[in-house]
Amino acid sequence: MSKKRRLSIYGVSALFLLSACSTGGAGGKNGGSAASGDKIVIKYWTANGGKIEEAKQNLVKQFNASQNRIEVQAANQGNYDDLHAKVQAAFAAGNAPAISDLEIASTGVFARSGMLVDLTPLAARDEATLNSKDFNPGLMGNAYVDGKLYGLPFMRSTPILYKNVTMLKSAGLDPAGPKSWAELEQYARVLKANGKTPMTLTVDIWYYEALVAQSGGKVLSDDGKKALFNSAEGVAPVQYWKKMASEGLFKFAVGNTAGADASKDWDNQISAFKFGSTAGVAAALEVAKGNNFEVQTDFMPANTSYGVPTGGCHLIITSKTSEKEKEAAWEFIKWMTSKENTIYQHKYVGYLPNRVSALQSDELQNYYKENPQYKVASDQLKYAVPRPMATAYPEITKMMQDAITKAILEPNVKPQDAMNEAADKANKLLGK
């Protein structure tokens, strides 16, 4: 699931101020939902397309068919950036959806702006049926803001390594590797010598966060008040990427179509490796079958250790819903994150099983024997870290991305200098 996550904190603030001036009351129009007779109709806005959207629409249809009190109307709003902007605008106008996907790193921004329902009392009230301890602990770090629960893990992910086993074998390489940055470089040199592009990458902050964790570092301080990405551990990934790019071992795709371009290179067997979300496992298997090659997934290669951020989305409730609509939305969210449904979406797409009971179920354990590519992300969770949730972080990711891109593509720019400059700008935002 590498997705663009840039969300302007200024845009959020402006829209929140507009919403505060709105004259509409809760419910109906402003809750993004309406009552039809005794049935409560609520809107659910989704992000991303393809098999991901198919799985969500299928689940919504199953929920609506399972009872006659609540009708959920799902509508896709594009990628996470698109969705977040539209939810903000709708909230300001007083007609936000009752329920929405929310990319996990933006939870802090939305919660602190007053746009989300605090789910803590609902979860405490319904603990017997919710069983919050069953959610995988590695996926809960971004669910809480300032000690309060604002989302339940839904389609969650980590970045993983996708390998074209057929290309590796043809170059005489062991498909069990590479396990480290050094091994990845060795593999890349062999592939290049065989006339192949070892890897096509994008300057994606999600991947960068992984490499920082693998180096033993952090992007921001634990209190979210200081940039740490210009530390030795934060600069190491940029130095590595610059070296690999300058020697023709990594190809970096840039621009608005960078992600699609990197995926096309891997799909078309131009590149042997790619980083990608576990959400792409099902699609990758379909591509490999159609193009007649074998694919394996693996942990992202380690530096001093393994490490990855989690990603994907929570399901959240917007704060202008009426009490009746809030209860209906809560029922839907609990249903969507049940053991049975986490198994369904995991097998349909590749997103992580959110619940421990799902991961340990006979159904999934038997499934993994036939489809080991799906299990890698769950195994990798032991090395997972939450994403930063400082209010300014969506803006800071753009600063980091620009600095890393500049350092990689411009020969005379030193990674340390580029990251120092970005950190100075970031600290001004974090200090506000």
Contacts of residues 57-64 at CB distance under 8 Å and 24 or more positions apart, as own/partner, are 58/344, 58/348, 59/336, 59/341, 59/344, 59/345, 63/332, 63/335, 63/336
Which residues, 6+ apart, have CB-to-CB distance to 144 below 8 Å? 150
Task: Confirm whether 302 is domain-assigned.
Answer: yes
pLDDT at 21: 32
Would you state the pLDDT for residue 431? 85
* pLDDT attached to residue 337: 97
Strand partners, 297: 162
Give the per-residue pLDDT at 405: 97
Q: What is the mean pLDDT for each group of 10 consecutive residues in the chain (432 residues)?
A: 39 36 36 61 95 96 96 96 94 95 92 96 96 92 93 95 98 98 98 96 96 98 95 98 97 91 94 95 95 97 96 95 96 97 94 94 96 94 91 93 97 97 96 80
| Number of domains into which the chain is organized | 2
- Do residues 120 and 16 share a domain? yes
Domain of residue 19, residue span? 9-157+311-381
Residue 210 belongs to a domain: yes
122 falls within a domain: yes
Q: Which of 404, 395, 410 lies closest to 109, judged by CA?
A: 395
Query: Do the beta carbons of residue 419 and residue 230 sit within 8 Å?
Result: yes
Q: With contact defined as beta carbons under 8 Å apart, do 10 and 18 qualify?
A: no
Q: Quick check: is 405 in a domain?
A: yes
Instruction: Choose the final residue of a domain: 361, 381, 401.
Output: 381
Cβ–Cβ < 8 Å for 269, 164: yes
Dihedral class, residue 141 (left if φ above 0, else alpha if ψ from -120 to 50, else beta): alpha
Alpha helices in 135-250 (DSSP H): 165-170, 181-193, 205-214, 232-246
| 365, part of any domain | yes
What is the total residue count of the chain? Answer: 432
Looking at the structure, do residues 179 and 322 belong to the same domain, yes or no?
A: no
149 and 229 assigned to the same domain: no
Q: Report the alpha-carbon angle 19-25-27, nearest 5.
A: 110
Is residue 219 domain-shared with residue 147, that is, in the same domain? no
Q: Quick check: is 244 in a domain?
A: yes
Q: Is 294 helix (H, G, I), strand (E, B) or coil?
A: coil
Measure the CA–CA gap between 335 and 123, rounded to whole angstroms: 13
4 found inside a domain: no
Distance CA(345)–CA(384), nearest Å, equals 21
In a domain, 3, yes or no: no
What's the confidence (pLDDT) of residue 110?
94
The CA R_g of the chain, rounded to the nearest whole Å, is 22
The pLDDT value recorded for residue 37 is 58
Q: Which CATH number does the domain housing residue 25 bear?
A: 3.40.190.10
